[in-house]
Structure 1
Amino acid sequence: MSTVQLEIIHEHIGLLTLNRPEAANSFSLQLLHDLNNALDEVEKNNQIRVLILTGSGEKAFCAGADLKEREGMTEEQVIATVGKIKSTTTRVEQIAIPTIAAINGAAFGGGLELALACDIRIACDTAKMGLTETSLGIIPGAGGTQRLSRLIGLGKAKYLIFTAKRLTSKEAKDIGLVEEVLEKEDFLEKSITISLSIAQNGPIGIQQAKKAINLGYETDITSGLKIEDLCYAKTIPTVDRREGLLAFKEKRKPQYKGK
């Protein structure tokens, strides 16, 4: 059985599930391979407008690196494996469509780094998370030192990484690490509802908005406004833009095609 499952739900929503519940959905080499194969499928499927990433079972989203597997590795193999985790999380960050981390349980180390690479983070009320690598004598190596500070600020990021603190989902929301905390009973259903609220909007507009936000955030405001202009221009000649105007005029829900 694959360590990663990809389903298409509600026509335009992709649900990608890390499927190693017996190992807290940790990053084995096989899971990394399967995850990249699943991302290949997502990128080839033009019908997917939003991708949800979650973990199987109720205990863990992803516990990070598979430390049992790592015990038998040489130093060179460890470095290569960490590099593979980093390149995979970066790939998730750079995918064109919006991504939502549905954090259904524990998200530590590389697991939280995967969530940080997503556009939006939604947590179950029983979830716990943290970048705990310094407690193992190492540092976050899959983008955590960079993405966490950009998301919640330098001081808070340093505090969490230096102390290896574990946060509840409520604490994570209070500092802006996650956007929503949902009750365990209807966690996935409500995560899908949020995804549908994104998927109903113009897919080209959503993708260009993501691009403008991501690229503009890394530069000064003047350059960012120019990036916004370029991304806005991409939406002008589209069929979707004309459909949006027509639907507004006719007081009906637009039927976007991504063209």
Structure 2
Amino acid sequence: MEEESQIVFILFAGAFLAALMATFVVAMVILHRQRQVQNKQKMEQLQLEHERTLLNIENEIQQETMSHIGRELHDNIGQLLSLSKLYLGSSKPEKQAEGRELITKVISEVRGLSKTLNLDWVESISIREFAKQQLDRIQATGFCQTELDQEGDPWELEKNQKLVFIRVIQECLNNAIKHASPNHVSIQIIKNESGRKIIIKDDGKGFDTTIPSKGSGMTNLKKRMETIGGEFLIHSSLGNGTEIKLLLPN
């Protein structure tokens, strides 16, 4: 009788342990699937945020381009057309010839502007060329002196990476112009074994980076670099200018 009781107990204990193990396995499977779903949702959310960031950058660049076109039409092409009208209306052959030359120049300027109406130019321009264009525009205004330096081989970037760099460079230079009052602004483009780096420096007012900014500008720039796996680092102090590093590993 006692042996039968032990056998029953062993069978019952075995069945209980088997049920417990089965429950544990089922629970682990369910937990694993839940984690998979959560990870998938997180990846989808990150992808959505990445796409939104790129879309915002494209829209901002297009708005910047349209503003540039508007200024060129008003300040440059409009002036050239007015002069052309005066020269062509002259009775002097030499003035009429100058008018025709100005019309040719206007046609060339309009063709150049038409190329910037979409973002195809992003794929055809290098980061160095873009940086040079931006610095040349700043120096042409007489606002301050500029300098561009490149170390290492030319960069090869995907379109989304290039879009982010273009917009971040624009914003950094705009901030220097608006807030720093510098005498000199420089951009250094570097490529080496560790990755790619852009250093943007100015000798302007500088600011205390330990004081939280009222705006979200720097935070947005940092987030944008993070969307392409990069880093945004800034060092500044009052009276000592500002240095910004944009880092992208290989």
**Structure (1 or 2) with the larger CA radius of gyration:** 2
Q: Shared topology, TM-score over 0.5?
A: no
Structure with greater proportional helix content: 2
TM-score by length of 2: 0.22
